[in-house]
């Protein structure tokens, strides 16, 4: 079956600014990142987000020889659990619906969405490497008729107005201006369509960026937004929150386990410090297009 998506040319080139070019460059050249590839190899779902839930302490207690393998599998299980929680909040999705994964990385969350809903999903990324990798995964799984990844800017996708039943961002909003982003999502969502976001955000109550949050920004070339910014930008674009869940306590075990893994990248301590001192939250936000 051939399914076509109506796409008008985006208004601007995919990479508009020097900043966007540097972000694309980061994800195009950071290809051999063992923490993401080794976890993805566990079952072929390649994620670019963190995990939630308690880890099984027996992974640390078992035989030394297979310890790393057990930790890798456990970290992957927690990352997949995070994506499941995101998908749980998309609402009643039917096979005939079309969704968008904004900042789709290597495609893990989109592939899981197809498994769950059997619907059409378009992922967009400004990394041509990631788009190629993710399309390859969809092909390997035989779902490339329903799951497609595009080299597109989520601020200006060119997809048809009102064409989306739901859109999500899984840890990608720290790369863009939220007002521009939600203007585009508001255009793409049908009336009553749903937006789900999982993000790390800074805490307005503790003031401006803490040192630990600045270190996370520096590590990933991103700009973590304050919590308040999300709600202002949603409200400014006819996106009305229906659910907000603070996942901070649930993500701390993931970072504690990751800090013990040979795959640790050095960013574990800033995450643990930021979460524990209260300068940073891991938040799920669900909003309806009204
Ligand atoms: C994880 O990607 C997410 C980001 C880089 C965006 C920043 C997220 C925040 C919540 C601040 P990844 O899986 O590629 O990271 P890593 O390689 O460290 O696992
Ligand atoms: Mg990762």
Strands (E), the chain: 98-102, 120-125, 147-151, 164-170, 189-202, 239-246, 280-289
Quickly state the pLDDT bin for 5 (edges 50, 70, 90): low
What are the structural domain ranges in the chain?
A: 21-289
Name the residue at shortest CA distance from atom 13 of ligand 1. 48
Ligand 1 proximity of 279 Cβ (cutoff 6 Å): no
Residue 8 CA to residue 161 CA, distance in Å, equals 10
pLDDT score of 117 more than 70: yes
Ligand 1 proximity of 33 Cβ (cutoff 6 Å): yes
Ligand 1 proximity of 171 Cβ (cutoff 6 Å): yes
Ligand 1 proximity of 169 Cβ (cutoff 6 Å): no
Name the residue at shortest CA distance from atom 10 of ligand 1. 200
Find the 104 Cα to ligand 1 centroid distance in Å: 12
Of the listed ligands, the closest to the CA of 271 is 1
Name the residue at shortest CA distance from atom 2 of ligand 1. 48
- Closest ligand 1 atom to the C-alpha of 33? 17
Residue 21 CA to residue 17 CA, distance in Å, equals 6
Of the listed ligands, the closest to the CA of 106 is 1
Residue 112 CA to residue 83 CA, distance in Å, equals 8
pLDDT score of 257 more than 80: yes
pLDDT digits (tens, 9 = 90+) for 154-164: 999 999 999 99
pLDDT digits (tens, 9 = 90+) for 175-210: 999 999 999 999 999 999 999 999 999 999 999 999
Name the residue at shortest CA distance from atom 9 of ligand 1. 200
Predicted TM-score of the model (pTM): 0.96
Nearest Cα to Cα of residue 56 among 85, 87, 81: 81
pLDDT digits (tens, 9 = 90+) for 96-107: 999 999 999 999
The mean of the pLDDT values for the chain is: 96
pLDDT digits (tens, 9 = 90+) for 212-243: 999 999 999 999 999 999 999 999 999 999 99
Ligand 1 proximity of 265 Cβ (cutoff 6 Å): yes
What is the CATH architecture assignment of 21-289? 3-Layer(aba) Sandwich (3.40)
- The per-residue pLDDT for 92 is 96
pLDDT score of 10 more than 80: no
At residue 134's C-alpha, the angle toward residues 51 and 92, to 5°, is 65
From 26, 47, 50, give the residue whose CB has the most ligand 1 atoms within 8 Å, as the site to mutate.
50
Is 151 exposed, middle or buried (CB count within 10 Å of its CB: 0-12, 13-18, 19+)? middle
Ligand 1 proximity of 284 Cβ (cutoff 6 Å): no
Quickly state the pLDDT bin for 15 (edges 50, 70, 90): very high
Specify the DSSP class assigned to residue 174: G
Quickly state the pLDDT bin for 56 (edges 50, 70, 90): very high
Ligand 1 proximity of 72 Cβ (cutoff 6 Å): no
- The per-residue pLDDT for 12 is 77
What proportion of the chain, given as a percentage, has pLDDT over 90? 94
pLDDT score of 9 more than 90: no
- Closest ligand 1 atom to the C-alpha of 48? 13
pLDDT score of 126 more than 60: yes
Find the 48 Cα to ligand 1 centroid distance in Å: 6
Give the residue with greater pLDDT, 92 vs 8: 92
């Amino acid at each position: 079956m051939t399914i076509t998506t109506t796409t008008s040319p985006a208004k601007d080139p995919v990479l508009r600014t020097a900043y966007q070019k540097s972000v694309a460059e980061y994800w195009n050249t950071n290809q051999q990142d063992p923490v993401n590839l080794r976890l993805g190899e566990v079952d072929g779902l390649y994620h670019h987000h963190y995990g939630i839930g308690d880890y099984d302490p027996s992974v640390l207690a078992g035989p030394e020889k297979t310890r790393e393998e057990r930790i890798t599998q456990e970290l992957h299980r927690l990352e997949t659990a995070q994506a499941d929680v995101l998908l749980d909040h998309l609402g009643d999705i039917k096979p005939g619906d079309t969704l968008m994964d904004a900042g789709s990385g290597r495609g893990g969350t989109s592939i899981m969405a197809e498994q769950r809903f059997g619907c059409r999903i378009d992922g967009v990324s400004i990394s041509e490497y990631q788009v190629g990798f993710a399309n390859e995964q969809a092909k390997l799984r035989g779902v490339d008729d329903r799951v497609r990844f595009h080299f597109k800017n989520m601020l200006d996708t060119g997809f048809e107005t009102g064409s989306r039943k739901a859109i999500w961002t899984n840890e990608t909003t720290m790369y863009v201006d939220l007002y521009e982003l939600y203007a585009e999502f508001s255009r793409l969502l049908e009336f009553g369509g749903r937006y789900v976001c999982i993000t790390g955000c800074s805490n307005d109550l503790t003031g401006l960026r803490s040192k630990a949050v600045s270190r996370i920004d520096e590590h990933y070339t991103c700009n973590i937004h304050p919590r308040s910014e999300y709600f202002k930008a949603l409200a400014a674009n006819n996106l009305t929150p229906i659910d907000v869940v603070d996942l901070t306590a649930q993500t701390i075990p993931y970072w504690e386990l990751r800090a013990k893994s040979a795959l640790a990248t050095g960013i574990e301590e800033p995450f643990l410090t930021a979460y524990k001192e209260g300068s940073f939250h891991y938040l799920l936000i669900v909003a309806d297009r009204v």
